[in-house]
């Protein structure tokens, strides 16, 4: 027993990168619960809806921000567009609008989000997908 056992390296866990997703998730959850309330009293179902919406939305935003660089720019823009479209479509559907109008509005906003995200990714990356150097 002359040799010491090697201790595994401790992995540093950081909350860096959770600030924006958590903030967006809380705002989204509050808004979802408020839209579902329709001016009536607060119920536990609405609190649960807001909490679950916040957790799912924050998790999706965090995952896209953390793992999005592995995707090609077209697919990354499409995933951001899908996230925005699904999130908006869900909120619109909570307001008891028709499914068709919620779908059309979500698709229009998702298409705009795709165009903006693709433009940003295309102008801020080289052909291999690496971030370009800032010249300002």
The overall average pLDDT reported for the chain is 87
What was the pLDDT predicted at 68? 86
pLDDT at 126 over 80: no
DSSP for the chain? Answer: --SPPPPPPPPPP--TT-HHHHHHHHHHHHHHHHHHHTTS---HHHHHHHHHHHHHHHHHHHHHHHHGGGS-HHHHHHHHHHHHHHHHHHHHHHTT--HHHHHHHHHHHHHHHHHHHHHHHHHTB-TTSPBPPP--
pTM, whole model, 2 decimals?
0.81
- 45-70 per-position pLDDT tens digit: 999 999 999 999 999 999 999 998 88
Q: What is the pLDDT of residue 110?
A: 98
């Amino acid at each position: 027993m002359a040799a010491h056992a090697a201790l595994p390296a401790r992995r540093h866990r950081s909350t860096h990168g959770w600030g924006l997703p958590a903030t967006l998730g809380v705002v989204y959850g509050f808004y979802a619960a408020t839209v579902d309330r329709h001016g009536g009293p607060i119920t536990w179902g609405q609190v649960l809806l807001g909490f679950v919406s916040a957790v799912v939305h924050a998790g999706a935003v965090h995952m896209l921000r953390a793992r999005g660089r592995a995707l090609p720019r077209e697919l990354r823009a499409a995933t951001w567009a899908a996230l925005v479209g699904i999130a908006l479509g869900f909120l619109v559907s909570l307001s008891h609008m028709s499914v068709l109008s919620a779908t059309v509005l979500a698709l229009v906003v998702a298409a705009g989000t795709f165009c903006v995200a693709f433009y940003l990714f295309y102008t801020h990356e080289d052909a291999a997908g690496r971030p370009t150097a800032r010249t300002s």
